[in-house]
């Protein structure tokens, strides 16, 4: 026990210095004084006696309130680095929800933490001062490692996953808030949060694998019947096939309600996206919709009969034919779009924004792989 942490002499009270007998007021004064001194001098450079003098109370009073300098410091920093109850509760909704809750909570706390907060002084002094480093380790162990250990108790590689989450959390705090390095410092929190969550999701999402689904059972059957055959690609393509079927069944109900097919929807949306005068060549639409030009022509015939598109010859090259959206066609596709896109978001309701970004990127990579494997 240091001299600062020693108990006060018998009979020493806060009132001896003339401060009013106001326990709550004295306690607030101690916290305010300690916050200023810890921020200015660091953890190792601040003593209980200096805090007491600054607050106008005795060292014994500080000890009575907080037990030690360590207890006083922990009271000041609170749970600003911790995985709190609300974040733990988010884990009940799945690891994706946990990574987002953790990212948003950290950004919200540190956005509100002033630059002169004692945390900054502790972290900086921890680089060269062993007592400060030990204090920092102890707080991170209590506020981050222990809650994560409980959340990842069933993961065989929990230690490695915790190490990654701690590194990401602490790295963001250092880069974005303590050292204010660019570009991390100036990226708005709303834009930063999904990527922050995505970085942690690598450690959290796969810690609790989802229950086996139909594709898993099909894979197991193939592996049992043909143990020498690599069927692992079906884990991707089987799910893509099922997702495509489920997606088309859901969204086609919207288009059919408005009297058009999904194929017609593809043509009309391609024209609507072109902007005024809402026209494109058959070849441009075919490339956009991933169908043959003859397929577009077949669809265009029906759409023209319905008064939704018209054919126009190119003014410079009469061999080129454009399809143009009519006013009726534009009004129809706008009505469908107002139902279609919200429905797509509903279908992705269990996929967080960071996961959507990652999934979109991976699907883009898959498309490139498919195109290069079958360029024809």
Lowest mean pLDDT among 80-84, 167-171, 276-280, 314-318: 80-84
CA-closest candidate to residue 255, choices 315, 341, 354: 341
- How far is it, in rounded angstroms, from Cα 119 to Cα 136? 9
pLDDT at 156 over 90: no
pLDDT (average), residues 65-84: 71
Statement: residue 87 has pLDDT above 70: no
pLDDT at residue 16 in the model: 43
Summarize the confidence of residues 269-277 as an average pLDDT. Answer: 92
For the whole model, what pTM was predicted?
Answer: 0.52
**Is there a cis peptide before residue 297, judged by omega within 30 degrees of 0?**
no
Q: Is residue 369 pLDDT above 80, yes or no?
A: yes
Looking at residue 14, its pLDDT comes to 41
Least-confidence region, from 1-15, 160-174, 199-213, 303-317: 1-15
DSSP assignment string, 152-219: TTT-TTHHHHHHHHHHHHHHHIIIIIIS--TTTTTS-HHHHHHHHHHHHHHHHGGGSPPPP-HHHHHH
pLDDT tops 80 at residue 13:
no
| Mean pLDDT (whole number) for 73-98 | 61
Among 2-6, 61-65, 100-104, 365-369, the least confident range: 2-6
Confidence of residue 208 (pLDDT cuts 50, 70, 90): low
Q: Could you tell me the domains of the chain?
A: 14-77 (1.10.10.60), 85-207 (1.10.357), 258-373 (1.10.10.10)
DSSP string, 111-133: HHS-TT-HHHHHHHHHTT-HHHH
Instruction: Give the list of residues 6+ apart from residue 100 with CB closer than 8 angstroms, or none.
Output: 90, 193, 194, 197, 352, 353, 354
- Residue 240 clears pLDDT 60, i.e. is over it: yes
Q: What is the mean pLDDT of the chain?
A: 81
Q: Can you give the pLDDT at residue 330?
A: 95
- The pLDDT assigned to 96 comes to 57
Percent of the chain topping pLDDT 90: 24
pLDDT of amino acid 268: 93
Q: How confident is the model at residue 95 (pLDDT cuts 50, 70, 90)?
A: low
Q: What is the mean pLDDT of residues 271-286?
A: 90
């Amino acid at each position: 026990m240091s001299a600062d942490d020693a108990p006060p002499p018998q009979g020493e009270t806060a009132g001896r210095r003339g401060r009013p007998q106001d326990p709550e007021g004295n306690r607030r004064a101690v916290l305010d004084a300690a916050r200023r001194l810890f921020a200015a001098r660091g953890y190792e450079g601040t003593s209980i006696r200096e805090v007491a003098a600054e607050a106008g109370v005795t060292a014994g009073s500080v000890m009575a309130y907080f037990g030690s300098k360590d207890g006083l410091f922990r009271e000041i920093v609170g749970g600003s680095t911790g995985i709190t109850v609300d974040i733990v509760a988010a884990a009940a909704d799945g690891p994706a929800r946990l990574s987002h809750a953790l990212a948003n909570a950290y950004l919200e706390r540190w956005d509100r933490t002033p630059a002169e907060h004692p945390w900054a002084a502790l972290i900086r002094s921890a680089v060269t001062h062993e007592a400060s480093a030990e204090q920092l380790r102890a707080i991170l162990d209590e506020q981050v490692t222990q809650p994560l250990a409980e959340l990842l108790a069933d993961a065989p590689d929990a230690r490695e996953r915790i190490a990654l989450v701690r590194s990401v959390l602490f790295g963001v705090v250092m880069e974005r808030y303590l050292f204010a390095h660019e570009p991390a410092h100036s990226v708005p929190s709303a834009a930063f949060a999904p990527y922050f969550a995505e970085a942690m999701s690598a450690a959290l999402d796969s810690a609790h694998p989802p229950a086996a689904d139909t594709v898993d059972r099909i894979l197991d059957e193939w592996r049992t019947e043909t143990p020498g055959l690599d069927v692992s690609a079906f884990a991707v393509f089987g799910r893509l096939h099922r997702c495509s079927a489920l997606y088309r069944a859901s969204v086609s109900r919207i288009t059919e309600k408005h009297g058009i097919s999904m194929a017609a929807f593809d043509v009309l949306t391609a024209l609507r996206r072109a902007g005024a005068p809402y026209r494109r060549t058959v070849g441009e639409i075919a490339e956009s919709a991933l169908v043959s030009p003859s397929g577009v022509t077949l669809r265009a015939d029906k759409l023209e009969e319905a008064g939704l598109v018209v054919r126009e010859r190119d003014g410079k090259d009469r061999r080129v034919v454009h399809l143009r959206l009519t006013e009726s066609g534009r009004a129809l596709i706008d009505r469908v779009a107002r139902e279609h896109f919200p429905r797509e978001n509903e279908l992705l309701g269990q996929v967080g924004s960071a996961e959507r970004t990652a999934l979109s990127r991976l699907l883009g990579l898959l498309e490139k792989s498919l195109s290069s494997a079958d360029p024809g």
